[in-house]
Amino acid sequence: MRAKFLLLGFLAISCAARAELPVLMPQPAQLQGAGTLVPIPKSLGIAVEGPGQLAQSAALQLLAQFQPQLQLRQVEAAQAQLQIRVRQSIQMPGPDDDESYQLEINKDRINLNAPSSTGMLYGLMALSQLIRCDSSATAGVCTVPTVTIRDQPRFRWRGLLLDSARRFIPLADIRRTLDGMAAAKLNVLHWHLTDDQGWRIESKAYPKLHQLASQGQFYTQAEVQQLVAYAAARGIRVVPELDLPGHASAIGMAYPELLAWPDAVQDQQGLKPLPAERRFGVFTPVLDISSAATWQFIQALVAEWRQMFPDPYLHIGGDEVKADHWLANSKIQRLMQQQQLADGHALQAYFNQQLAHLLQQQQRRMIGWDETLHPALPQTTLVQSWQGQDALGAAVRAGHPALLSAGFYLDMPQPAAYHWQNDPLLVTAPLTVPADKKQQLQFGYNLQRLNGKAVTGTVRLYQTKNGQWQGSLAATGRGVVPAQVRVWLVTPGAGALQVRVDADNYLGPVQLRFNLQSGAPAQALALIGNHSYPLELRAEPYQALAATPALTAAQQQLLWGGEAALWTELVSPDLLDTKLWPRLFVVAERFWSPAGSQHIATLPSRLQQMDDYALQIGLLHRQQAQASLQQWATRVLTGGSTALTPAQFQALQDFSQYLQPLHYYGRHHLKTAAGRYHLDEPLNQLADALLLEPPVLLALQQSFAAAPACQLPTDWSVWQRAFTQQQQLLSPIATGSPELKRLLAQQQQFSRIISANSQPAEKASQLLQLLQPAGEVVFAPAAAALDWADRCAAQTQ
């Protein structure tokens, strides 16, 4: 794929014109200076003062890897262009390390000072983003801007969960991911190693686990220790997840006697090994926690893992535990009676108490997903929220340190802006209702998802005395979030209003659209990101929101940060980078940088620059997308017999920049409904070959966002010419793909809709129709233009 994408010239020019200081992601806590570019030699002399030669050497090697044009050489301090001073060497990073640094660049020298070798590493990573070398010029043409940076992280825990249990991820791919994490200043790899679909780590105490339940794909203990050392050299802790007591199908493949079986099954069939679980979902196998053999098993595994993973924390999962087999097992029932446990949740809390004590004996602290939260849960347990702001707030109000992962799931495509705005402190903030409201409306909603399971909740709208509208959107059991409300006339003078309610909740960016006349809603529709869902609305009597207290200062201190998550149901190793980069830089900025430190309007242009930087440091997102698209084209468009011409494939690449896979869990739900949600489903569809926020699409979104009210973007003719060229080259070869034919037809419709002399409400209605997916893919410009049409409609009422 080309290093520079078609139509991005104007984007780069506008960014350069605005930027007085260099773009860094994550943005530093303090960045000052003129930003004047000064030359540095490609043969860069470095002097390092301080302990820890191994840590220093690893950090400098990473800088050389990220800036291959440079030749680093050790020199005396007087001759050094880069002077580094570090006070403490950290061989194995920990949760309380000082990660701060100061970087000063002037016309004479680059000075980097850090209290620890981890801070030194982060300073060098910032420097790697600042250096610009012209590879086509003569030796010595590299520049850096004159700046002073004083930097430290906002949150102590900045992680990425990688799921090797469902689909095995080779070590080379994990090492490359660790390199990217270091550049993004992420400091925790949460390694999900056990689940229903597989057990991915060697066990010498219970060898059947990797022999029978890994499908031959597992990491040896020696490989694990090597990876932990590789991560540590990049300032990254490795926190493993041993999922207990549910998600236990893989354990049942190897040691079925450790599971709690319903009495009827055990009596009739005996204890037979479970077959390999190829499906995805939530399953009933669960450990027999009444058995001494089960506790011996857990203790032995923790002892093994303690030797491989030196980090003080161990994640025990604890999510999605089904109590069905427990409640149908007489031994478990006797345990519940003895301990006076009322239900499955209380039983799991009892298990967690015992497990926390076992971990404490092994000098380990427990982390669990938010289902583990219970009044009996030891307060030392770190709670990780995947279910939304209610769970996160409940955890810290109960005195637990907590992490936020809800809103940072990278396996379900979402706009980078959605992740960027998902501030761990703000999601727990109490909502305010306008004091000067003159009317208040409430509607219950039922949003029907593609997997057949509806989301329910409440919408509240407030009109203030000056005519402005505000609102909130609640999801049942998941919390209430502020909503931006746009209201405009459907038919001037008719008294009917069209309402648009926007809120970022656990589903993603949610938009509810409906007409409102005499307080009754009609013609309702929901959008989750880039595609639509059926929506039912009903008027309800208004009920005031329950007051939620603001977090105290002490409770805010318990919010330790968060983790992005990449689950691998729809992610294979050859697609790994396309799902992670460059979006992971955006999540990393949310965890590192001060709140509100960069206006969101600049995010698309900054994201494009990080896309280029990610390519420079060896990440493979563009390469993987190109290879996957080539494979799809050969299989679908040419039947595998011939290849597209270079011009045809270039046109397909360019056209793919306007496409996106369905946001949220749209693809997962479609596959579930079709019976294709399992490990044997090939990840070779057009949706798999797409970058999640292609640079050209970002440029088009900016173009529509910058357009004056009710006017076409100034560069609309440029986009039209690109569309025409793609149509000419792709239409003749699209006969083998109904999906591609429909998307090309949508591109033609899009051009006609935007160019037509029609009312903004009519354009919006037509653009909504274009958000109907073709297979698992959406023609994404329709969503950007919908915002443009809505803005026009709201301003012309």
Residue 97 has pLDDT above 60, yes or no: yes
Is the torsion defined by CA of 275, 281, 284, 286 positive or negative?
positive
- Residue 140, pLDDT score: 56
pLDDT digits (tens, 9 = 90+) for 121-149: 999 999 999 999 876 655 558 899 999 99
Q: What is the CATH number of the domain that holds 365?
A: 3.20.20.80
Is the same domain home to 620 and 692? Answer: yes
- Residue 4, pLDDT score: 38
Measured between alpha carbons, how far is residue 190 from residues 104, 159, 309, 464, 504 in Å? 33, 7, 11, 46, 25
pLDDT digits (tens, 9 = 90+) for 52-65: 888 888 899 999 99
pLDDT digits (tens, 9 = 90+) for 391-448: 999 999 999 999 999 999 999 999 999 999 999 998 888 888 888 888 999 999 999 9
- Residue 5, pLDDT score: 37
Of 540, 561, 589, the position where a domain reaches its end is: 540
pLDDT digits (tens, 9 = 90+) for 611-638: 999 999 999 999 999 999 999 999 999 8
Is the same domain home to 442 and 359? Answer: no
Is the same domain home to 207 and 257? Answer: yes
Question: Rounded CA gap, 136 and 629, in Å?
Answer: 30
Q: Is residue 21 part of a domain?
A: no
Percent of the chain at pLDDT exceeding 70: 95
Asked whether the whole model's pTM tops 0.85, one would answer yes
Structure tokens of 259?
Answer: 């599971």
Q: What is the mean pLDDT of residues 562-583?
A: 97
Residue 676 has pLDDT above 80, yes or no: yes
Q: Is residue 345 part of a domain?
A: yes
Q: Is residue 673 part of a domain?
A: yes
Q: Is residue 8 part of a domain?
A: no
Question: Rounded CA gap, 185 and 450, in Å?
Answer: 37
Under a CB-based contact definition with an 8 Å cutoff, are residues 240 and 309 in contact?
Answer: yes
Is the same domain home to 611 and 741? Answer: yes
Is the same domain home to 103 and 54? Answer: yes
Q: Is residue 178 part of a domain?
A: no
Measured torsion, CA atoms of residues 292, 298, 300, 304, in degrees rounded to the nearest 10: 180
Is the same domain home to 68 and 99? Answer: yes
- Residue 486, pLDDT score: 87
Confidence of residue 252 (pLDDT cuts 50, 70, 90): very high
What total number of domains does the chain contain?
4
Catalytic residue among 104, 223, 320, 536: 320
Is the same domain home to 763 and 662? Answer: yes
- Residue 15, pLDDT score: 34
- Residue 18, pLDDT score: 33
Q: Which residues, 6 or more positions from 692, have their beta carbon under 8 angstroms from its beta carbon?
A: 413, 578, 579, 583, 660, 661
- Residue 653, pLDDT score: 96
Q: Which residues, 6 or more positions from 435, have their beta carbon under 8 angstroms from its beta carbon?
A: none
Kindly report each contact of residues 179-182 with a partner whose C-beta sits within 8 Å and lies 24 or more positions away, as own/partner: 179/62, 179/65, 179/234, 179/617, 179/618, 179/619, 180/580, 180/581, 180/584, 180/614, 180/617, 180/619, 181/234, 181/236, 181/584, 181/588, 182/62, 182/121, 182/125, 182/234, 182/235, 182/236
Is the same domain home to 294 and 392? Answer: yes
Whether 681 is catalytic: no
Is the same domain home to 622 and 770? Answer: yes
Under a CB-based contact definition with an 8 Å cutoff, are residues 539 and 441 in contact?
Answer: yes
Q: What is the mean pLDDT of residues 448-475?
A: 91
Residue 769 has pLDDT above 70, yes or no: yes
Q: What is the CATH number of the domain that holds 67?
A: 3.30.379.10
Confidence of residue 492 (pLDDT cuts 50, 70, 90): low
Query: Phi/psi of residue 164, each to 5°?
Result: -95, -5
Structure tokens of 671?
Answer: 């596959």
Q: What is the CATH number of the domain that holds 453?
A: 2.40.128
β-partners of residue 382 are 367
Residue 12 has pLDDT above 80, yes or no: no
- Residue 270, pLDDT score: 60
Is the same domain home to 142 and 203? Answer: no
Average pLDDT in the chain: 92
Confidence of residue 491 (pLDDT cuts 50, 70, 90): low
Instruction: Report which of 428, 349, 438, 420 is spatially closest to residue 391, judged by C-alpha positions.
Output: 428
Residue 555 has pLDDT above 70, yes or no: yes
Question: Rounded CA gap, 29 and 366, in Å?
Answer: 31
Domain, as residue range, for 534: 431-540
Pairing of strands 469-475, 454-464: antiparallel
Q: Is residue 1 part of a domain?
A: no
- Residue 55, pLDDT score: 85
Question: Rounded CA gap, 3 and 94, in Å?
Answer: 38
Residue 733 has pLDDT above 60, yes or no: yes
Q: What is the mean pLDDT of residues 44-48?
A: 93
Specify the 3-state DSSP secondary structure of 578.
helix
Structure tokens of 344?
Answer: 């499955």
Q: Is residue 546 part of a domain?
A: no
Is the same domain home to 144 and 203? Answer: no
Q: Which of 29-43, 226-240, 469-483 has the highest mean pLDDT?
A: 226-240
Question: Rounded CA gap, 532 and 419, in Å?
Answer: 20
pLDDT digits (tens, 9 = 90+) for 200-219: 999 999 999 999 999 999 99
Of 400, 423, 457, the position where a domain reaches its end is: 400
Q: Is residue 13 part of a domain?
A: no
Under a CB-based contact definition with an 8 Å cutoff, are residues 122 and 187 in contact?
Answer: no
Residue 8 has pLDDT above 60, yes or no: no
Residue 773 has pLDDT above 90, yes or no: yes
Question: Rounded CA gap, 394 and 402, in Å?
Answer: 10
Is the same domain home to 525 and 460? Answer: yes
- Residue with structure tokens 């010029």? 137
Q: What is the DSSP letter of 507?
A: T
Across the beta sheet with 43-49, what order do the strands follow?
30-32, 148-151, 101-105, 110-116, 82-88, 43-49, 71-74
